[in-house]
Amino acid sequence: MSTVADHILPAPNSVAEAPRARRPAAPPARVAAPAAFGAARPIPAFWRTGLLAAAAWAALGLLTYLWPNKPAGFSEWAFTEEFAIGAGAVAVLLAVLAFVAGALGPVGHKVRRTGPWLVAIAAGLTVWEVFTAKLGTLPPPFFAPPQSLVEVYATDWARLLESAGASVRLLGLGIAIGAAAGFTTGVLIGWSRQASYWIHPVLRILGPVPTTALLPVSFYFFPSSWSTAIFLIALGTAFPVAILTWSGVAGVHKNYYDVARTMGASPWFLVLRVAIPAALPQVFVGLFMGLGAAFSTLVVAEMLGVKAGLGWYLTWAQGWAAYPNMYAALIVMALLFSGVITLLFVLRDRVLSWQKGVVKW
């Protein structure tokens, strides 16, 4: 576009014919790159919740040590000072972690996540201590204070350990046999129509029956209470594993088989490399369901017939009115069963690693 000055004072030909110099393009403005989605936030160096947890555990230790126990009528609660010292040691450890957790990297991040629970546990122990040993609101010996559990773990750890080992052996054998039997049965009735015709009605009738209801009959057919317990635990595990495995095998998409047959797959290849891998998520669901039945069957069998194990320990402690021992065994039992479930989760994550992101449970 020409300007007004060009019309009034025409420019020389040399200037008019010269191409106009283009203005240099402005450099593009730098735009800050957006933060990556899900990027880890910087971890603060100071852990406030850890310091709060340290204060809670310190308060528990001081309350236990300075407030005298209410006389229980039979004897003084032992291990009161030891419990107070232990709570103080936890408080000191948490106070140190509150200042150095930021320098511990991933370990410190995991410790930080337990902060609210550490505060809640200290508060719960404080309330428990006050209403049992200090005020006696909850009548002893039915409600024992926390230091009585410390006494049990310090003085009767050998018997508890032996009982826990017996329960682990019984539980391991029963679950292994039941899982293998249930898995084989589920694959069989899911793959073969003839097997489904004969086995499926039996599962529908006998499967829902609680295994503990079969205890008297099982004692008659098996030579010992130990073998009876293994049979019942295996039976309680096998039923959900068989049903879920059958459902998983029967639910495999037909196109998978067609593609494999097109590539020349044999019937064994279809079962082992197509049907079973596709059914594995359902198999693990059945295993998780079977664990609950196995735990309850284990405790009932140990209470009624087996001469060792945590269930037997519970019955023995109840017979002697040793309620602290009973509570201590219950805590060990809860930790043991929780550990078994955690191991199964780890096994599932490794076996189903090829379905990472698909399995949501």
- Say how far apart CA 229 and CA 8 lie, in whole Å: 114
Quote the CA–CA distance of 188 and 241 in Å, as a whole number: 12
pLDDT at residue 152 tops 60: yes
pLDDT digits (tens, 9 = 90+) for 204-255: 888 888 888 888 888 788 888 888 889 989 998 999 999 999 988 888 888 8
Inter-CA distances, 220 with 217, 223, 228, 293, Å: 5, 8, 9, 22
Secondary structure of residue 235 in the 3-state scheme: helix
C-alpha distances out from residue 250 to 46, 190, 244, 352, 353, Å = 55, 5, 10, 19, 22
What b/e string do you get for 7-31 counting C-beta neighbours within 10 Å, with b at 16 or more? eeeeeeeeeeeeeeeeeeeeeeeee
Phi–psi pair at 71, nearest 5 degrees? -55, 130
The pTM is what?
Answer: 0.76
Looking at residue 302, what is its pLDDT?
A: 82
Question: Quick one: pLDDT at residue 179?
Answer: 92
pLDDT of residue 58: 94
pLDDT of 38: 46
Report whether 70 contacts 134 (CB < 8 A): yes
* DSSP 8-state secondary structure symbol assigned to residue 271: I
pLDDT at 22: 52
Q: What value does the mean pLDDT take over residues 20-48?
A: 56
Q: 26 falls in which pLDDT band (50, 70, 90)?
A: low
Residue 18 clears pLDDT 50, i.e. is over it: no
Using DSSP, state whether 34 is helix, strand or coil.
coil
Cα dist. 150→191, 202, 265, 340 in Å?
A: 54, 49, 62, 24
Average pLDDT over residues 46-57: 90
The model's confidence at residue 75, banded by pLDDT at 50, 70 and 90, is low
Asked if 280 and 248 touch (Cβ cutoff 8 Å), the reply is: yes
**Residue 261, burial from CB neighbour count under 10 angstroms (0-12, 13-18, 19+):** middle
